[in-house]
Amino acid sequence: MKTTRSFLLLIFVSTLSFAQIDKNATKETKNLYLNLLATQKQGVMVGHQDGLAYGLNPDGTRWIGQDGRSDIKTVAGEHPAVLGWDLGKIEFDSTRNLDKIPFVKMKQYIEETYNRGGVNTISWHLHNPVEPKKNTWDKADSTIKNIFNNTENLKRYEGWLDNVADFIKNLKGKKGELIPVIFRPFHEHTGSWFWWGAGHCKADEYKKMWRFTVDYLIKKKNVHNMLIAYSTDRFNSKEHYLERYPGNDYVDMVGFDIYHTNSPSSNEKFKKDFQRMVTTLEEIASEVNKPCAVTEMGLEKIPEADWFTSIVLPVVQDTKISYFLLWRNGYDRHYYAPYEGQLSAPDFIKMFQSGKVLLEKGAKKKNFYKSK
Ligand code: BMA
């Protein structure tokens, strides 16, 4: 009897700890979550921020809004497996996001990616709800405290969340089903360059803001096609990583952002830090039973010809990491994925040919949205 009871308890606890936070999530969203877990160590997917929206021509000039085009496809023959998008400026009913992508086009790209079997993740570089003219990089202290202290500020923030909810709830597949997205709010909070960063609010304020946001979207606005990702910037230890973690009931996926600067002198140090952070993330992900990813990364302008195979691949291959997302190819001095003719393009292809990383066809094979 006693054994049966503890056996049942064990089953109960393990189903609980595998579950995603939104019990009313759509079927496709639940499948995405379970399949991210189930297909760990079966290739790490490559992501690219804004990859379908714009990029660079061989001469370094920009291309914008050419349907069917992406720099990764031009270089390696396939679109990225994961596409990142940002909702910055959705706060103001703007028709374009902070990097000038029309929201109607973003919706189209998200739908195309989903229809191809790929994964979409959404970040939000939002303005400061207390002083809405000030942008995401505003460094005012106590912003979060001042949102909750003041009804007008809170109302304003809720209005912004309404816009986020409307956007996410309007993403639909061919059969009218809602498209699951990985929503990654208040990112890089171990740094202090955004108003929600570690230097500008206390840990409990950050957690309060996080929980309020997630509850508002899921419970109040009934957004049920979303997984919630927690992503720090650099961190020194497991404790540091978890310092502002809002709890297992508020996070579906764990990740971090990391940028490589000052190459080549920093190459060894970067690789070491990256390795340590991936190892710690895998440990945490195993403990909390949640999928994990390198939610942003890159080396601006990729001046290292073998960056992908000598620095990135050795660290991410054969790990639990579901994907690493390269930041956007904004313009000729600010890009993170190779484009046609770029120095690291042959090496990117070599990384892809290793069979250890996946682009869109590899994502499709994982059949993320179907139950197994
Ligand atoms: C930053 C830069 C900015 C951009 C922002 C949000 O890292 O790429 O140019 O506006 O991300 O996408």
pLDDT digits (tens, 9 = 90+) for 285-310: 999 999 999 999 999 999 999 999 99
CA of 360 to the centre of ligand 1 (A): 24
pLDDT in tens, 140-169: 999 999 999 999 999 999 999 999 999 999
Å from CA of 298 to ligand 1 middle? 13
For residues 188 and 233, the answer to whether their CB atoms sit within 8 Å is: yes
Sign of the alpha-carbon dihedral angle for 35, 106, 163, 91: positive
What is the band of 18 on the pLDDT scale with cuts at 50, 70, 90? low
- Report which secondary-structure segment, H or E, holds 3: helix 2-18
> Dihedral angle at the C-alpha atoms of 279, 282, 287, 289, nearest 10 degrees?
180
DSSP per residue over 221-266, as a string?
S---SEEEEEEESS-SSHHHHHTT---GGG-SEEEEEEEE-STTTT
pLDDT of 246 reads 98
Show the ligand 1 pocket: residues with CB < 6 angstroms.
86, 88, 98-99, 125, 327-328, 330
DSSP 142-189: THHHHHHT-HHHHHHHHHHHHHHHHHHHT-B-TTSPBPPEEEE-S--T
Catalytic annotation, pick one of 28, 78, 91, 188: 188
Total number of domains constituting the chain: 1
Nearest atom in ligand 1 to 97's CA: 12
In a domain? residue 371: no
Boundaries of domain holding 71: 2-365
User: How many CB atoms within 10 Å of residue 248?
Assistant: 15
pLDDT single digits (tens) 244-293: 999 999 999 999 999 999 999 999 999 999 999 999 999 999 999 999 99
Quick one: residue 262, left, alpha or beta (phi over 0 = left, psi -120 to 50 = alpha)? left
Pocket test for ligand 1, best of 50, 91, 98 (most atoms within 8 A of CB): 98
Q: What is the pLDDT of residue 8?
A: 55
- Cα–Cα distance between 250 and 315 in angstroms, integer? 28
Whole-number Å distance, alpha carbon 260 to ligand 1 midpoint, is 16
Backbone angles phi, psi at 225, to 5 degrees: -120, 50
Q: Among this protein's residues, is 300 annotated catalytic?
A: no
Which pLDDT value is given to residue 7? 55
R_g (Cα) of the chain, nearest Å = 20
Measured in angstroms, how far is the CA atom of residue 302 from the centroid of ligand 1? 17
Q: What is the pLDDT of residue 17?
A: 56
Q: Does residue 370 lie in a domain region? A: no
Is pLDDT of 12 > 60? Answer: no
User: Which CATH number covers residue 187?
Assistant: 3.20.20.80
| Catalytic pick among 296, 300, 304, 360 | 296
Which amino acid belongs to residue 305?
A: A
- What is the mean predicted confidence (pLDDT) over 58-78? 98
In a domain, residue 184? The reply is yes
- The answer to the question of residue 372 being in a domain is no
Task: Work out which ligand 1 atom sits closest to the CA atom of 328.
Answer: 8
Q: Is residue 361 one of the residues assigned to a domain?
A: yes
Residue 154 CA, ligand 1 centroid: distance in Å: 26
Residue of 353, 251, 304 whose CA lies nearest to 21: 251
Q: Identify whether 329 is part of a domain.
A: yes
Q: Of 144, 107, 139, which Cα lies nearest the Cα of 122? A: 107
What confidence score (pLDDT) does residue 372 get?
Answer: 82
pLDDT score recorded for residue 19: 83
User: Is 112 one of the annotated active-site residues of the chain?
Assistant: no
- Give the predicted TM-score (pTM) of the model: 0.95
